[in-house]
Copies of this chain bind each other. A is one copy, B any other.
């Protein structure tokens, strides 16, 4: 009863990933953030926690202290789940400690920096028997869930081809500058593991294809691209796939696809039909059938599966961005209340409300009088 007690490691300050996890955890009124270790610098840590109105007593210097102190609390007060949002190389040791101490864990991807670590973590979980989630975020989209459902349901018939493209262009200004490419942590194997492009986005494509299709990728042939001989990390690559049921496929990934933002496209073709989804327009799922009109499925409609509908909060036609749009209005109001500087365009005021009422009444009046011109009140 009430909300799940929730802690976070990392994600302090303006960290995007921190914002993402805080907002996401608040979305269904299921989690209450009670503390964590947001920053390696303890003072920053405390300062950030104060902004969030968290009790300083639950803001810890490091993970060890957190574990020790939380375990000392009565179970009803103790953090039930902890999200790991720290740099990649810390995922493994932190997750391992948390599991060994009986915590549920939500871990950002990549889960570890090597497969060997991943195997150890898996063994640890076998003993811990807690809940462990890796945040391949895109699998939570309502239309991806619908895609998975339809494939499982046999709507495509036997799968005969899988294809994922994940194209970005962000590394372009870095990779062509010898200074920048030698100093970016993303291209430093010591900090980022053995792969940049495949490790960061190819792995999303891999997980997604397995998620939606229910197939397992069994073997692969990869051609990676480093562009410069002094660059040690792939920044582009194509991977041929052989999956269970003799299905072939391909993953195309790139961080040098200049001007692409986050073009992640997933296609699965079966004997009876095909399905296509694009991350940049995530509310559209395209169903292609031989000789029939293309169908475009959207979230929130009754024709979707329970799995998809469970992940939709809004009625059809309202993209999720409306939360953010309303969030921006709340942000503007907050500034006004706190007497901080703000732009008058940040939220609609009573004048907008008054003029709106005038518009409605005058529209009815114009119509009733026989479609004549009438004046809006001057406010």
Contact = CB atoms under 8 A, between A and B. Distances in A.
Contacts of A198: 359-360, 363-364
Nearest to A106: B333
A102 interface: no
A101 to B, nearest CB: 16
Is the interface on chain A under 10, 10 to 19, 20 to 34, or 35 or more residues?
35 or more
Given A225-B161, A364-B222, A356 B320 contact: no
Given A323-B24, A327-B24, A364-B234, A345 B163 contact: no
Contact of A274 (B16, B140, B259): B259
B357 A30 contact: no
Contacts of A306: 343
A269 interface: yes
Contacts of A238: 238, 240, 248, 250
Given A257-B274, A327-B24, A132 B16 contact: no
Contacts of A353: 107, 109-112, 118, 121, 134
Contact of A350 (B115, B122, B259, B338): B122
Given A160-B236, A211-B345, A221-B374, 20 more contacts: A21-B326, A24-B329, A24-B330, A104-B337, A110-B353, A115-B357, A115-B360, A119-B354, A172-B290, A198-B363, A203-B359, A206-B355, A221-B223, A225-B248, A234-B364, A291-B301, A307-B346, A311-B328, A313-B324, A371-B372
A218 to B, nearest CB: 6
A50 interface: yes
Question: Which of A4, A294, A353, A376 has the most chain B CB atoms closer than 10 A to its own CB?
Answer: A353
A108 to B, nearest CB: 10
A118 B221 CA distance: 32
Contact of A322 (B109, B137, B222, B271): B137
A202 interface: yes
Contacts of A132: 349-350
A191 to B, nearest CB: 15
A104 B343 CA distance: 18
Contacts of A230: none
B52 A3 contact: yes
Interface stretch (A61-69, A70-78, A178-186, A279-287): A279-287
A356 B206 contact: yes
A356 to B, nearest CB: 4
Nearest to A173: B290
A29 to B, nearest CB: 6
A262 interface: yes
A90 interface: no
A255 B182 CA distance: 43
A266 interface: no
